[in-house]
Chains A and B, each alone.
Chain A
Amino acid sequence: MDFDDDIMASFIEDTRGHLVGIESCLMDLEQAGAVADQELINTVFRAAHSIKGGAGFLGLSNVQALAHKLENVLHMVRNGELVPDNAVVSPLIEGFDLLRTLVENALDSSARDISEAVIALSDLATGHLPPACRDRLAQAVDVALPGGLSSIRLDRLSLEQAIQGGRYLYLVEYDLIHDIHARDKTPLDIIATMQSSGLILDCRMDLAAVGDLDAPQTNRIPFYLLYSTIVDPDVVGYLFALDTSRIHMVNHEALLAGSGPDPAHPGAPPFLLALTGDLGPDDLTALKSGLLAALEAHPDVTLDLNAAAPVTTAFVQFFCAAHRSFAARGKTLRLAGKAPDISRRLASLGFDPGGVAGCGLLTCPWFAGEDHS
């Protein structure tokens, strides 16, 4: 038996332990109904959560997905959003039964069709939610990534659960070559470290940055992880062994509020930067410093173009990069004073709404109102 076999065997054994007595716990929950003991609910919730974490590490996608759905429903029970009556407990018992079967046949689990159970649990959560809350499950939240990558998308409920208890939300940027290969580590080493201290919500690799077989051998493979943890921003760099410039704290409040003002700063007016001059290299260098300071200090920044010369290609590229940086931090960068013929001018510079489709952001500050998600 090699090391990974040991890990799998240990996971299966741990899962058996978590699932001991789960059915009787669930039946007790049903009997207690609305006055169910919180510790009892927590016991069942922790079982689903632990199994989900281990399955994620081992790449058991079906086990992870099913445990995640069970966790969602139990989270709602814990919050009093769902009463554990028979209609709720029966699908939970069936779900845990299926989870046990999947784990006992772990190596084949990902090939099994679990859609029926997943849909039943999703419907359960959606159907029992108050109308005002149902949208949280269906509502997608996009976390923008730098470099023109499409956003990481997750449902609002998962995001809300991930940041509960004062946890921070980070977007972590690794380079597989310099941060992992050059340090004689494997990607799985990094994943294991992160999962020991928090929850990986999703990840994305920048495939385009690698190039193709005709390109020189790549020396950079960007890998982004969306991660929630209780680890404080002051020390999180040690956890990831990364410079803090590669760890972006995501403003989840602004994210959940959409593109509106940051609820952490109610009533705060947008910070205005008025641009003058011809937007040449010197102007852009100064503007970069100003924007970096504004990015740290303000949730909502507006660049006013009213007194500036017509935009140049360099400025459009600069602004798009800055816009993505703000979005990655859950902040907003806007434009004011755009010329009425800006679309035509951008087209003459080689930009168009179709061309920005790959930038990964839901709203384009140049082609306002045109959805390129």
Chain B
Amino acid sequence: MSQDNTAGPVIDPCGDIVASMAVVFKERLRESIADNPGGLTIDMARVAMVDSVGLGLLIATHNSLTKTNGQLRLANTCDDVLKLLRVMRLDRHFLIIP
């Protein structure tokens, strides 16, 4: 499993990862992984909130990457989202980059 923080493409959503943007964002993630199955970084700098649908999207991304031995990396995650990921124990599955 690659621990290279710079490996693979970086996707930077322009706002919260929530239900209203899930369909479009899912397609963007899917195309990115199809081109680069080894790993993906989501730059969370502009993400202040992830709702239940957004969590599902992150998990689906993780599951797609796992199939190809890739890893989902989350960079610049704000404290609120980090708290959510830790409470839900998802920090055991995603690589959180400080």
CB neighbours of A205 from chain B (8 A): 59, 88-90
Residue A203 lies at the interface, judged by CB distance under 8 Å to chain B: yes
Interface size of A in residues (CB-CB distance below 8 Å) = 33
- B84-98: contact bitstring with A at CB < 8 Å (1 yes, 0 no)? 111111100100001
Given A111-B98, A181-B19, A213-B30, A218 and B60 contact (CB-CB distance below 8 Å): yes
Chain A nearest CB from B96 CB (Å) reads 10
B60 touches A211 (CB 8 A): yes
Residue B17 lies at the interface, judged by CB distance under 8 Å to chain A: no
> Closest A-chain residue to B59, C-beta based?
A210
A210 touches B63 (CB 8 A): yes
B55 touches A188 (CB 8 A): no
Chain A nearest CB from B47 CB (Å) reads 14
Residue A107 lies at the interface, judged by CB distance under 8 Å to chain B: yes
Chain A nearest CB from B67 CB (Å) reads 7
CB neighbours of A177 from chain B (8 A): 52-53, 56
CB neighbours of A223 from chain B (8 A): 88
Residue A22 lies at the interface, judged by CB distance under 8 Å to chain B: no
- B61-88: contact bitstring with A at CB < 8 Å (1 yes, 0 no)? 1111001000000000001101111111
B23 interface neighbour in A180, A187, A217, Cβ under 8 Å: A217
CB neighbours of A210 from chain B (8 A): 56, 59-60, 63
B90 touches A59 (CB 8 A): no
Given A111-B98, A186-B51, A213 and B89 contact (CB-CB distance below 8 Å): no
Interface centre among B60, B62, B82, B85 (most CB of A within 10 A): B60
> Closest B-chain residue to A205, C-beta based?
B88
Residue B33 lies at the interface, judged by CB distance under 8 Å to chain A: yes
Residue B10 lies at the interface, judged by CB distance under 8 Å to chain A: no
CB neighbours of A111 from chain B (8 A): 98
B59 touches A61 (CB 8 A): no
Residue B11 lies at the interface, judged by CB distance under 8 Å to chain A: no
A191 touches B87 (CB 8 A): yes
Known A-B contacts: A4-B80, A59-B85, A205-B90. Give 17 more (CB < 8 A).
A59-B82, A59-B84, A61-B86, A111-B98, A176-B52, A176-B55, A177-B52, A186-B84, A187-B87, A188-B87, A191-B87, A203-B89, A205-B88, A207-B62, A212-B61, A217-B56, A218-B60
18 contacts between A and B (CB under 8 A): A176-B52, A176-B56, A181-B52, A186-B52, A186-B84, A187-B84, A202-B89, A203-B89, A207-B59, A210-B60, A210-B63, A212-B61, A212-B63, A212-B64, A212-B67, A213-B64, A214-B64, A215-B60
Residues of A within 8 A of B (CB): 4, 56-59, 61, 107, 110-111, 176-177, 180-181, 186-188, 191, 202-205, 207-208, 210-215, 217-218, 221, 223
Residues of B within 8 A of A (CB): 19, 22-23, 26, 29-30, 33, 51-53, 55-56, 59-64, 67, 79-80, 82-90, 93, 98
